[in-house]
Amino acid sequence: MERKKVTIHDLTAKKKADKKITMLTAYDFAMASFIDQAGMDMILVGDSLGMVVLGYDSTVPVTMEEMLHHCKAVRRGVNSAFLVGDMPFMSYNTCLEEAIRNAGRFMKEAGCDGVKLEGGLEVVETVRAITQAGIPVMAHIGLTPQTAGKLGGFKVQGKDLASAQNLLDSALALEEAGAFSIVMECIPDKLAGLISKSLKIPTIGIGAGPECDGQVLVTNDLLGLFEKFLPKFVKQYIKLFPTIKEALGNYKSEVETGVFPGREHTFAMEAKDLSRIKVKKKRKV
């Protein structure tokens, strides 16, 4: 039986019922299909694709066109999960009109159910404008990779009183502005729990401990497909990179030694039929 489409109402109801929300990233049709069929509540087409798919050193270079391209592919693999598109750096930072226009493209062109953008108090009015335009917004506070340089690098946020207060104030303001959910990244677990209990909307943690209303991970990290580094908050449920590397090496070896393709991989033709084919000789010039 095909499960019904997940809605914002369903996500909010899960928080009220103290049921955890599940979320993973996807960047293509195949992985989106796997994740959707696994029953995940939400799928995020994260700008993390810049690093794990496109090979950039950070998420900053990712463009709107790249995000839309991957969101369209993911959309074709999703039937039930709530699909969120990540707004890339500088797609919502210049003016409200451009922010609304770009957010609208995720909905109209890519078929997303909502968008995500990074920032705290500084993006509250942007969130308000986009939601008032009828576009659901997921906020993102704590470690915000697009502006990690401003935060002093990829570090845990909210460890001192002032920054912890700022994160709580930001979360409350973003909820008031209309955000339907908030991702909290690299925040101390007890602070994340306090923020979660202070909000009516669901919180989704990544490196923010178990007291959030749900969890999200980069799927490539979870599956052991990204080898450059492994954040502390990631649990690898399988390590596919060595397995894939071995399989590719075996293929290379078998092709070079003539083991592959074997008879079982070959389409046969009768010798008598082959003999009836005439090979035309090249005419001498």
Write out pLDDT tens, residues 61-101: 999 999 999 999 999 999 999 999 999 999 999 999 999 99
Q: Please, what are the domains in the chain?
A: 8-242 (3.20.20.60)
Cα→Cα distances 179→120, 124, 196, Å:
12, 9, 14
Q: For residue 87, give the nearest of 36, 144, 28, 30 by alpha carbon.
A: 144
**Cα–Cα dist 266/228, whole Å:** 39
Q: For residue 29, give the nearest of 79, 84, 99 by alpha carbon.
A: 79
Per-chain mean pLDDT for the chain: 95
Q: What's the rounded mean pLDDT across residues 53-64?
A: 95
**What's the confidence (pLDDT) of residue 143?**
95
Task: Tell me: pLDDT of 4 over 90.
Answer: yes
The residue that leads in pLDDT, 230 or 65, is 65
**What's the confidence (pLDDT) of residue 1?**
67
Q: Is 118 annotated in the active site? A: no
**What's the confidence (pLDDT) of residue 250?**
98
**What's the confidence (pLDDT) of residue 270?**
84
Task: Tell me: pLDDT of 196 over 80.
Answer: yes
Return the biggest CA–CA distance within the chain: 89
Q: What's the rounded mean pLDDT across residues 197-215?
A: 98
Of 65, 97, 175, 185, the catalytic one is 185
**Cα–Cα dist 204/21, whole Å:** 8
**What's the confidence (pLDDT) of residue 177?**
98
